[in-house]
Amino acid sequence: MKKYFNIITAVALILFASACHKAETFKISQPTVQVGNIIKSDTLSGTVKGTLLSGKTYYFASNITVNGGDTLLMQAGSKLIALGDGKTAATAPEIFVHGTFISLGTKDNQNYITVSNSAQLHSEAGQQNYTNVFQGWWGGIFCTPGAAATAEDPNPAGGDLIIKWTHLEFAGSPAGDDDNHAIYADGDPRWTIYFANITKNFILEDSWIFGSKDDAMRVAGGHMDIMRNTYELCGLAAGEACNIKSGSVGDVGYNMIIGAATNAFKISDAGSTGTQCNINCYNNTIVNCGFRQNSTSGHGGSIDFEKAAKGNAYNNMIINCAIGLRVLSSSDITNVHYNNQLYYGYNTALVAQFNATDGKSTFQSGDIYSATPQQNDPLFYGFDVNAYNYTQFPAPATASNQTPAIVMVGTSSFRPKAASPAIGKASTTAVSYNTVTATGTYGATITAPGKDIGAYQYDGTGNQH
């Protein structure tokens, strides 16, 4: 986008004017954001830019592209529906972003980027019929700078991806001829989001990511803010909720991750961009992850640092995950800092992997753990941590033998009760990185590390889902 709108100055003037009239109450309306022209057709195709209006539903049955220097913006309460069967790349459309893509949903007026039969898919998932969930109905959002400048795309520098209060669902269709073969081989399942722009911003806040066939998202460079989101049922037989590579720097906090096939967060400097991967991972709640991966090495389940990556892991709940914290010798171990995790394991196998047996992490002074299974129950308001017998099925598990409660939030509540061992046990020294450079309406709203372990704070702050 050529120029961000910034309302901060206007708001400041209004507040200044009110200083002499403190008894009066001013209510400032939330402005309706618009960039470029309003898109009038309800069907998108080819090159697109402009604004998708609140309350409207739009469709795309073939690939759409946002060129460098252009912006596509979804106002609060808009929907973008992919039409396809997910069987081939030609019948599963993708969104290519070489400029800026913005989805500005709100808590009361959420956005959707999904498929036409999403209600049916959710219903079937609730009945443990997962075949359609992992079909991979569309190709996801692929964000990279454009190629060499052309008359059609004169600004190949790329732009930001800013997504707030948005549901992203059911991506993962096979890659094809239109995809970058340095990223995807033909037939590879595509990720819900791929972002690779080391100078730009990837902001994902207060959103829901559901039913990806492989990685829900992969970040290969950029200023990151992944804050207060919910990841459910990500990966059929492999895949992370979020796979973060070289060139990526930023905060990953207050996310709720349940039922990922492999890790919640894989942090690696693979890709060698020249900027070391450095991720600040704090106050996340990670539940029942790592059981559907088809690797014989058992390499994931919660937070994984490897391949020269550095960063932090503080104040995270790791509950009944196949593998706990994993800091490999290949990571930048000297610059990987961690403490104040709460670990819970249903059985001895899970307890033995609170620190991955193939890794180098050790328990720290602020960690809450026990060598005895079923100790330090996090005391969630509405979720039974012993609902799934982890010795009942051979590894790897499949979605069909994991009940919906194990892989989806549903009506469960992961807020801690007053007696939870997580209350008041978070790090008092952890801080946010705040690397995102976008400001104003489009900027990051980063919640600093809290006083309680996990994504949900007892005082109601943190994750708002």
5-14, 157-166, 341-350: least confident range: 5-14
Q: Is the pLDDT of residue 267 over 70?
A: yes
Structural tokens at position 289: 């992850």
281-285, 384-388, 429-433: least confident range: 384-388
User: Which three-class secondary structure state does DSSP give residue 257?
Assistant: strand
The predicted structure's pLDDT at residue 176: 94
Tell me how crowded residue 83 is: count the other CB atoms within 10 A of its CB: 16
26, part of any domain: no
Contact 92, 174 (CB under 8 A): yes
Q: Is the pLDDT of residue 131 over 90?
A: no
Domain count along the chain = 1
375, part of any domain: yes
pLDDT tens for each residue of 352-381: 999 999 999 999 999 999 999 999 999 999
Q: Is the pLDDT of residue 126 over 60?
A: no
The predicted structure's pLDDT at residue 130: 64
Which of 340, 339, 268, 312 has the alpha carbon at shortest distance from 431?
312
22, part of any domain: no
pLDDT tens for each residue of 142-178: 999 976 555 665 556 789 999 999 999 999 999 999 9
Structural tokens at position 37: 């022209």
Q: Is the pLDDT of residue 24 over 70?
A: no
Q: Which contacts of 75-78 are long-range, i.e. CB under 8 A and separated by 24 or more positions?
A: 75/32, 75/33, 75/34, 75/51, 75/104, 76/104, 76/105, 76/106, 76/109, 76/110, 76/111, 76/165, 77/105, 77/106, 77/109, 77/110, 77/111, 78/52, 78/53, 78/54, 78/103, 78/111
Tell me how crowded residue 165 is: count the other CB atoms within 10 A of its CB: 23
1-5, 349-353, 391-395: least confident range: 1-5
Structural tokens at position 386: 């012993």
Establish how many alpha carbons lie within 13 A of residue 12's alpha carbon, considering only the half-sphere containing its beta carbon. 5
Structural tokens at position 97: 């972003």
463, part of any domain: no
> What does the alpha-carbon distance between residue 315 and residue 427 come to, in Å, rounded to a whole number?
6
pLDDT tens for each residue of 185-195: 999 999 999 99
> What does the alpha-carbon distance between residue 401 and residue 261 come to, in Å, rounded to a whole number?
13
Contact 262, 299 (CB under 8 A): yes
Scan for tokens 């509405």, then name that residue.
Answer: 382
Q: Is the pLDDT of residue 435 over 50?
A: yes
Contact 259, 402 (CB under 8 A): yes
> What does the alpha-carbon distance between residue 215 and residue 217 come to, in Å, rounded to a whole number?
5
For the segment 207-236, the average pLDDT, to the nearest whole number, is 96
Q: Is the pLDDT of residue 9 over 70?
A: no
Which of 228, 70, 79, 279 has the alpha carbon at shortest distance from 160?
70
| Burial class for 379, CB neighbours closer than 10 Å (0-12, 13-18, 19+) | middle
465, part of any domain: no
Q: Write out the residue range of the structural domain in which residue 173 sits.
A: 37-442
Which of 425, 288, 412 has the alpha carbon at shortest distance from 344?
288
Q: Which contacts of 197-200 are long-range, i.e. CB under 8 A and separated by 24 or more positions?
A: 197/143, 197/144, 197/145, 197/158, 197/159, 197/221, 197/222, 198/222, 198/247, 198/273, 198/275, 199/157, 199/158, 200/158, 200/159, 200/160, 200/161
Which of 59, 55, 57 has the alpha carbon at shortest distance from 43?
59
The predicted structure's pLDDT at residue 27: 42
Q: What is the pTM of this model?
A: 0.91
Which of 163, 158, 172 has the alpha carbon at shortest distance from 97?
158
Contact 173, 413 (CB under 8 A): no
71-75, 140-144, 383-387: least confident range: 383-387
199, part of any domain: yes
17, part of any domain: no
For the segment 6-34, the average pLDDT, to the nearest whole number, is 45
32, part of any domain: no
Q: Is the pLDDT of residue 312 over 90?
A: yes
Under DSSP, the state recorded for 441 is G
